[in-house]
Amino acid sequence: MELILINENKLKIMMSENDMHKFGLDENEFYLSVSNTRAILSKILHEANIRTGFENLTPEDKILIQLYPEVRGGCELYITKITIGDTSFKEEESLMPQGDEKYLLPKSTKKVTEHKKIPITYSFNKLDYVIAACKELIKRSFSGESSLCYLDDGKYLLFIIEEDTINTPINCLSEFGQLENTENSYLRSLERGTSIIHQNAVEKISTI
């Protein structure tokens, strides 16, 4: 972790990916978890104070934190001491948290990273069961990604990623096949399987 004292009121901290892991700093969670961010900043500023003398001198001072992630991992942190009432500082820049909190974080303009949807996998003993299952999904307005694989033991694996996991009752597939562990099924498909339909399997099979 490299500390650069720009002036008595501003500090630049250059952190590698390992430094971020050391302090438990996650760029995606930085603006979302106030209590966790507060604890992380306290540790970072404690070390910064020891190494550079940078500190929050008066109760009137607050500290603005700005985080800029690096493309290759790591990040740059800019820490600026601000005295509330300073005309050079625009409070309308939407800072969080408010009140007596010492650390001020600009509201993130970055969209929260959407969690990657995990595929659902069903196995079927016969192609007829796969066709019936796909027709039922289309009847229930299925929307998403799907692929079909044939295993050397005669079974079919249907991999599904739903776009709408709330309004599509995927459990209806249990009437035609068996729910499988997706990771294990994927390995089986690589070792003993043949891909039949790589994309839009549900839509294509439902037309048979």
Residue with tokens 């990040």: 75
DSSP secondary structure of 34-102: HHHHHHHHHHHHHHHHHHH-----STTEEEEEEEEE-TTS-EEEEEEEEETT-TTS-GGGTEES-TT-S
For residue 164, what is the DSSP state? -
For residue 128, give the H/E element and its range: helix 127-139
pLDDT number for residue 57 = 57
- The answer to whether the beta carbons of residues 45 and 92 sit under 8 Å apart is no
pLDDT number for residue 94 = 41
pLDDT number for residue 84 = 57
pTM: 0.45
Residue with tokens 């409070």: 91
Residue with tokens 């390995």: 187
Which residues pair with residue 197 across a beta bridge? 148
Tokens of 92: 């309308």
Q: Which residue ranges does the chain devote to CATH 3.30.70.1950?
A: 120-205
Residues 150-165 pLDDT 10s: 999 999 999 998 765 5
pLDDT number for residue 91 = 45
Residues in the chain: 208
What are the residue ranges in the chain where pLDDT is below 70?
A: 28-37, 55-61, 71, 83-118, 163-169
Q: Which CATH architecture has domain 120-205?
A: 2-Layer Sandwich (3.30)
Q: Which of 101, 110, 8 is nearest to 66 (CA)?
A: 110
Distance CA 153, CA 174 (A): 20
pLDDT number for residue 143 = 82
